[in-house]
């Protein structure tokens, strides 16, 4: 790294760099090498309560800033993120293992949310509604919701923060960021750059902990927190939703997925293989919109499996900082074991390994293709979160839509076809929040991100993203003469 001042070993609360009240710390290690990167504060509920109080105290002055003033602060933060792009990417690769090229892309992707919401800050328009009588005027305005808690995942340690914090700060709400214990350093680096951008004390806070359960409970149950945004597993999302019920807190939940990827007979198979490589093997398959199930129609099944296997065999696995590496390590031993179990279960039930399927030492696992996958395999229903591509066979459009929708999740879906009518039919029939049509990479700041069914509540990004961080207020003027 060019500037080691981005590695912060303290939490950031009320404009100050602080340790845990107990003095406890925890270690952050590189998943590719196991080496220690840093030790940082292990905070508890009392520490987080102080951060909540600081944010709530900062709220009145911050929400009173004009939209232009808030946008100016966000644009300064955006410029600083891009100025430190290489160092942020290196730090990200060190703590989460994703390859450096992907980390560089994430910095730009994450910064794009800051830029987008800096612009949206000045477009939070209200309405004037025709009144039912001439002596009244009806006006609708949008206001800052209040203190926002952002609970973010380890697989996108920068972009998942900016996607939540960007609209909150644009709307006039102070934030408390709780990054995961696996990847807190990128979050702390963002706090450092936010401080440099000039956000007032208490407006931007970052707390670090290994006790996610207790700290999360405080953020859910504390009445001063008005909004909670979480990205993570459906299981944890349900717990947070339940805990937030005592205060009827406004929620955004971006949860698990089980994305289907459909290749129809009339598809460009070569293009489908390129899309297939982008989606399930990015970040070693550890993204919520990664493809978990591939479906290929009868006439192209063998061709797709063969070409996909050949492309997967060419992927280079290794330390994300090394030149030419395309697939890095899994984040933990728990994650590695889950991948192994899914593959072993599939093979035991008749799947054919056409590529990969072996551990490579440490937390590395070979990118894998499984042919002849069937619905009774665990991998058909559970998110594998690893570099594995099971391929199912189907005969008709109606059949594959039923198979694709046969899950409690509904985050993203993908399909390849040259038939325009089929594009509309299938896109409308798939039960999910996002659809990639002849495209394997669909996330960007201008489009709404979110799912249906048990994949979550709400949308992030796009013009719709601001609404989830604001309250709508109706004003009735009477006695107009």
Active site residues: 254, 288
| Run of H or E including 27 | strand 25-29
Residue 113 three-state SS:
helix
Cα–Cα distance for residue pair 26/189, rounded to 1 Å: 17
Nearest to 356 by CA among 398, 390, 392, 394: 390
Q: Are strands 250-254 and 409-410 parallel, antiparallel or unpaired?
A: unpaired
Angle between helix 184-197 and helix 85-96 axes, rounded to 10 deg = 160
3-state class (DSSP) for residue 481:
coil
Torsion region of 449: left, alpha or beta (phi above 0 gives left; psi -120 to 50 gives alpha) = beta
- C-alpha 152/C-alpha 157 separation (Å) is 7
SS3 136: coil
Q: What gap in Å lies between CA 250 and CA 171, rounded to an integer? A: 15
**How many beta carbons lie within 10 A of that of residue 328, not counting itself?**
28
User: How many other β-carbons are positioned within 10 Å of the β-carbon of residue 128?
Assistant: 10
């Amino acid at each position: 790294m060019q500037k080691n001042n981005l590695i912060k070993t303290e939490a950031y609360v009320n404009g100050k760099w602080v340790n845990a009240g107990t003095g406890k710390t925890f270690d952050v290690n590189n998943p590719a090498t196991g080496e220690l990167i840093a030790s940082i504060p292990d905070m508890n509920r009392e520490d987080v309560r102080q951060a909540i109080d600081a944010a709530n105290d900062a709220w009145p002055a911050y929400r009173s800033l004009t939209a232009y003033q808030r946008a100016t602060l966000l644009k300064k933060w955006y410029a600083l993120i891009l100025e430190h792009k290489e160092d942020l990417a290196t730090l990200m690769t060190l703590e989460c293992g994703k390859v450096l090229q992907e980390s560089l892309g994430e910095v730009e992707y994450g910064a794009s949310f800051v830029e987008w919401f800096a612009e949206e800050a000045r477009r939070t328009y209200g309405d004037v509604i025709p009144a039912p009588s001439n002596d009244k005027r009806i006006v609708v305005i949008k206001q800052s919701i209040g203190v926002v808690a952002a609970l973010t995942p380890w697989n996108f340690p920068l972009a998942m923060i900016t996607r939540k914090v960007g609209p909150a700060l644009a709307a006039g709400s102070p934030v408390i960021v709780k990054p995961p214990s696996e990847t807190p350093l990128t979050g702390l680096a963002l706090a450092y750059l936010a401080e440099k951008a000039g956000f007032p004390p208490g407006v931007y806070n970052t707390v670090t902990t290994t006790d996610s359960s207790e700290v999360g409970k405080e953020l859910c149950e504390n009445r001063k927190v008005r909004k909670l945004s979480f990205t993570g597993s459906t299981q944890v999302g349900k717990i947070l939703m339940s805990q937030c019920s005592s205060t009827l807190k406004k929620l955004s939940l971006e949860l698990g997925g089980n994305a289907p990827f459909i290749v129809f007979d009339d598809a460009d198979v070569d293009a489908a293989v390129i899309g297939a490589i982008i989606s399930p093997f990015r970040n070693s398959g550890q993204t919520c919109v990664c493809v978990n199930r591939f479906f290929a129609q009868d006439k192209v099944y063998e061709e797709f499996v063969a070409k996909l296997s050949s492309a997967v065999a060419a992927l280079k696995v290794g330390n994300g900082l090394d030149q030419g590496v395309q697939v890095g390590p899994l984040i933990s031993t728990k994650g590695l074991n889950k991948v192994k179990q899914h593959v072993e279960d599939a093979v035991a039930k008749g799947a054919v390994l056409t590529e990969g399927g072996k551990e490579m030492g440490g937390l590395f696992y070979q990118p894998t293709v499984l042919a002849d996958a069937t619905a009774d395999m665990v991998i058909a229903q559970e998110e594998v979160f690893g570099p594995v591509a099971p391929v199912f066979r189907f005969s008709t459009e109606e059949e594959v839509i039923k198979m694709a929708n046969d899950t409690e999740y509904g985050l993203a879906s993908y399909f390849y076809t040259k038939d325009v009518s089929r594009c509309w039919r299938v896109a409308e029939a798939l039960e999910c929040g996002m659809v990639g049509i002849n495209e394997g990479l669909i996330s960007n700041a201008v489009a709404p991100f979110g799912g249906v069914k048990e994949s979550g509540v709400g949308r992030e990004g796009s013009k719709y993203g601001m609404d989830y961080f604001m309250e709508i207020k109706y004003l009735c003027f009477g006695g107009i003469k």
